[in-house]
Amino acid sequence: MTEITKNPHGKERRWKSRALLYLMIIVVVMSVGSSFAVAQMEGRFADPGGQLNDAFKLSCDQGILADRLVPISDDGEYNWMFAKGQQVNITLTNLNDTIVTMSWIRWALKGDYGLLDTNQITNHTIFISYNIQTAGHYQMELVATNHTILSYLQIYASASTTNTALWNCLNVGDLFRTD
C-alpha cells in the first residue's frame, strides 16, 4: 500500500507568501495614510480655490498664484517654485490702517542671505515685480507688526508662463538647506 506523505515545504511556502502579502498590504495602507495625514496638516483639502501652500507640488508655478483677501493676525506665507527667467508680479493692498511687512525669500540661501527684498505696507497699494534669476523655492512672508489688530490684505500674484517640468524649477540648495 502506498502512503501519501504531506509536503512540509508547501505549508512553509504558503505561510511565507501570505506573510509577505500581508506585509505589502500594511506598507501600502500606511504609506497612503501617512500621505493623507501630511496633506491634511498642510491644508491641502482646506482650500477649494487652490491658492494656499501646496506641499505636494511637482511642477513650477505659473499663471495666477493668488487672488484673494487674506486676514493676517500674526503672519502668513505663500511658497512657490519658479524657473529661471520667470517674471513674478505681486500687488498687495492693505485695507486698514495697520503695518504689514512683506518679505521675499529664496530658500536655497541660508539666514539673512535668503532675504531678497522687504517692503512695509500701510494703508496703500504696492506693486512689486521680480525677475527670477535662479530657479528654486521662493517664499512671500507677510508679518503684521501689531498683533492685536487684524490686518486685511488683498493679494494678487501672478507668474509668467514657463515649461512647468519639475527639473526646470529645482535648485539643489533647496534640497540640502540645513537651517
Co-location of 79 and 158 in the same domain: yes
Count of structural domains within the chain: 2
pLDDT band at 122; cut points 50, 70, 90: confident
Residue 116 lies in a domain: yes
Co-location of 20 and 86 in the same domain: no
Look at residue 85 and tell me whether its pLDDT is greater than 80: yes
Co-location of 37 and 111 in the same domain: no
Residue 11 lies in a domain: yes
Global confidence as pTM:
0.67
Co-location of 155 and 81 in the same domain: yes
Highest mean pLDDT among 73-77, 91-95, 144-148: 91-95
Co-location of 107 and 68 in the same domain: yes
Residue 159 lies in a domain: yes
Co-location of 69 and 147 in the same domain: yes
Domain that holds residue 117: 63-175
pLDDT band at 46; cut points 50, 70, 90: low
Q: What are phi and psi of 16, to 5 degrees?
A: -65, -40
Co-location of 99 and 139 in the same domain: yes
